[in-house]
Amino acid sequence: MWRKRAIGWLIISITGLLLLLGRLMQIQLIETETFSKHNINLLEESVKQRTQELVIDNGRGNFLDRSGAMLTHKKVAVLVLFPFLKKMEWEADQVSNISGIPVSTLKMAVEGAKKPFAYGEPEPYELTSSQMERINRLKIPGVFAIEKKFERSQVPAEQLIGLTGENSKELMKRYPNKELSEKTLIGVSGLEESFDEFLLPEGKSKLVYHVDGGGAPLFGINVRYVDPANPFYPVNIRTTLDKTLQQRVEELVDHYQIKKGGLVLLNIKDNSVLSLVSRPTINKNDPYNGAGMTNMMLKQQIMGSVFKTVVAAAAIDHNLDDPKRLFDCSKKINGKPELTYNYGMLDFTNSFARSCNRTFGELATELQKINPNLLEDYAEKLSLTGSVGWQGDIYHTNNFKQLSEEDKGRVFLSEDAKKDANFAAMTGIGQHEVRATPLAVANMMATIARGGEKEMVRAVSKIEYKNGTTMVNFQEQSLQGDNISPYTAMKLQRLLREVVLNPDGTGRWFKELPYAVAGKSGTAETGKYQDGKQLHNKWFAGYFPYDNPKYALVAVNLDVLDSEGGVNLLFADIVKMLYENDNGMQ
C-alpha cells in the first residue's frame, strides 16, 4: 500500500515539476515578448525593474508652423536630478548659485523623488543656455542640464492638429508588421491621425541608470544617454499655419464668445490654411469625448444666404441677371407679405447686396426649370460639394488625404427634391438640404478671387526628415471638375464687393476697413430651438484686399439666437489685424 502511495506522490511530484518547467520555459524562452493575453514583454519589464529613466523625447514626429516653430511641443532647457543624489554628498550649493534655485528647495525635491525628474515639472524651471553650460561643466553625477521636449498645455489649432493616445488593439490593427511597443502613441484625430504612419517613433531619447533592489546605483553612478541615433527620424510635419497669427485669432474668437463655430483663414496665393479655429475646445479632462473633438470647420453646416453666390453664378451664365429686371422683395418666397425684410422692388445686384430671399428663390426655380442639375453643377464648380482638402499619391501611399475627417457638401439629397419647385426655391436661399463645410466656403471665396481657378486646400506643405531635408513635398494642385469662367468670376467679384459698398448691403459694416473687403453674409435657420426660439447659423464669408486678393476668410457662429451671436465684429477685427501685421504696425 505504502509503495502505491509513494509511486502516486512521485508521479504527482514529477508532473508538478514538468508543469513548473513548462511554465519556466514559457516565461524564459517561448513567450518572452508576448506573455499572457495582455502580450506583456517580459524582457522589457525585467529591464524596467532594474533601471530608472527620464524620457527626453518620446520619438514621435513633430508638427511645425510654416516658419518652423514647434506647435504641439516645446523644447525647454531644464535641470534634471536623479534620486540617487539623496544617498551621496553633492555640490547643491554650486547648482543653486548658477540656477538661482535655493539649496534647501533642491535637496527637498531630491528627497521626495522616486525617479529622475526635471525640476519644477509639470511647469519646468527654465534655464538659460549659459546656465546649462555652467551646470554641465560641474560634472556632478546625477545632475544634468538638458533640453527636454514638453507637450504644450495649449496647442494651437488643436482640432486641426488632433490628438494622440495609447491603444494597443488599434496599433496592432494599423501596423501588424511593425515591431512597436504597446505603449506607442498613435494619432486618433486630425493631422495626427492622417500622418500617423510618418510620425511613428524609431525609439525614445532618454537618460538611464541601473539600480539595485534598494534603488541605489548598480554600476556606480554612471548615467547613460540612450538615443535612436537616426539622422532621418523622427520627421517633422511642416504645416501651413502661422503660429503667432493662429494664437491671436483664437484669442479673438474667444473674446467674441463663439461657443460653437469658428473660422477658416486661407492664403489665396498658395491656397493654404493660415489659421483654423474650431469651437468648442477640447475638454482637457476628458479629451476623447464631447463636441470638442469635432473640427466644426470640416463638418457640413447649413449655410443660408451664402449659397446665393452659387445661384448668382448660374443666373449670370444663363442670362437671368438682366439689370432692368426688378424683383418684388416686399414678398416672401411663398408670396406672403415680407414684414421684417421689406425691401420693395430691387434689381439683381441690389437683391444680392441686400440678400433678398424672394429674388433668389425665383431664380433658383427658373434655373431648375432649365435643368434640375444646374444648382448642383454650379455648387461643384465653386468647390462646395466635393472634398477640397489636399489629396493625392505620395511616397508609398495612394490617395493620401491630409484632412481625412473632412465632410463633403451637398445641395439635394434626392432626385425628387431636385424637381420640386418649392424645394428649389428654399435651396436658392441655402436652406432645405443645402450643406457645406466652412473650409469649402472659404475655398469658394478664394476660387472667385482667383478668377475661377479652384485648387485643393493644403494644411501641410511638406514632411521633413530630422536633418531638415525634404521627404515629401505637397505641391499646389487644382481641383478636378469644371470651373466657372473668368467672366462669371469677375461678375461675382463685383457682386461680393457691392455687398460691402451698398449703403444697405449686409456687409456695409466693413466699408471703412483698411483692406477693401468683398463677401457675402448668411443667416440660416437650423430647425433647432432654445426656449421656443429658432436657432441660427450666422456667417460672413469673403476675401480681401479686393484689388489684389491675399486672404479668404470665413467666420461662422452656429446654433445662436437671431438676436445675438453675430460674426461681423470678429471678421472686421481679423481684417484689421492682418492689415497691421502686413504693414509692420504690430
Number of alpha carbons in the 13 Å side-chain half-sphere of residue 524: 30
What pLDDT score was predicted for residue 376?
97
pLDDT by residue (tens digit) across 113-125?
888 899 988 888 9
Cα separation, 24 vs 37, in Å, equals 17
Q: Which residue has the cell 426688378?
A: 326
**pLDDT greater than 70 at residue 7:** yes
Of the candidates 306, 263, 272, 362, the one whose C-alpha atom is nearest the C-alpha of residue 496 is 306
Q: How many CB atoms lie within 10 A of CB 541?
A: 26
Relative to beta strand 236-239, strand 62-64 is parallel
**pLDDT greater than 50 at residue 395:** yes
Of the candidates 334, 333, 419, the one whose C-alpha atom is nearest the C-alpha of residue 376 is 419
Q: Which residues are marked as active site?
A: 305
**Backbone torsions φ then ψ of 362, nearest 5 degrees:** -65, -45
**pLDDT greater than 90 at residue 216:** no
DSSP state of 87: G
What pLDDT score was predicted for residue 219?
46
CB-based burial label for 474 (10 Å; 0-12, 13-18, 19+): buried
pTM of the model: 0.88
C-beta separation of 417 from 437 below 8 A: no
Q: Which amino acid is at 82?
A: F
CB-based burial label for 508 (10 Å; 0-12, 13-18, 19+): middle
CB-based burial label for 347 (10 Å; 0-12, 13-18, 19+): middle
**pLDDT greater than 70 at residue 457:** yes
What pLDDT score was predicted for residue 214?
57
Coil/strand/helix, residue 360:
helix
The mean pLDDT of 519-536, rounded to a whole number, is 94
What pLDDT score was predicted for residue 132?
93
DSSP state of 26: I
The mean pLDDT of 68-97, rounded to a whole number, is 91
What CATH code would you report for 243-282+299-582? 3.40.710.10
How distant, in Å, are the alpha carbons of 156, 440, 515, 548, 562 from that of 573? 19, 22, 11, 20, 22
- Average pLDDT of the chain is 90
C-beta separation of 42 from 27 below 8 A: yes
Coil/strand/helix, residue 317:
helix
Q: Which residues pair with 472 in a beta bridge?
A: 463
Number of alpha carbons in the 13 Å side-chain half-sphere of residue 12: 6
Rg (CA), the chain: 31
Q: How many CB atoms lie within 10 A of CB 175?
A: 15
Cα separation, 552 vs 574, in Å, equals 11
C-beta separation of 511 from 501 below 8 A: yes
Q: Do domains 46-239 and 243-282+299-582 have the same CATH topology?
A: no
Q: Which three cell numbers stand for residue 118?
A: 526635471
CATH 3.30.70 fits 46-239, yes or no: no
Q: Which residues pair with 276 in a beta bridge?
A: 264
Cα separation, 554 vs 538, in Å, equals 11
What pLDDT score was predicted for residue 43?
46
**Backbone torsions φ then ψ of 95, nearest 5 degrees:** -65, -40
Helix spans in 330-437 (H): 348-354, 357-370, 374-381, 415-418, 421-428
Cα separation, 249 vs 277, in Å, equals 8
Which of 215 and 190 is assigned the larger pLDDT? 190
Range with the poorest average pLDDT among 151-165, 204-218, 294-308, 543-557: 204-218
Q: Which residue has the cell 511530484?
A: 13
Cα separation, 351 vs 564, in Å, equals 24
pLDDT by residue (tens digit) across 472-505?
999 999 999 999 999 999 999 999 999 999 999 9
Cα separation, 169 vs 176, in Å, equals 10
Domain limits of the chain? 46-239, 243-282+299-582
Q: How many CB atoms lie within 10 A of CB 188?
A: 18
Q: Which residue has the cell 544617454?
A: 225
DSSP state of 40: B
Residue 218: pLDDT band (50, 70, 90) is low
**pLDDT greater than 80 at residue 215:** no
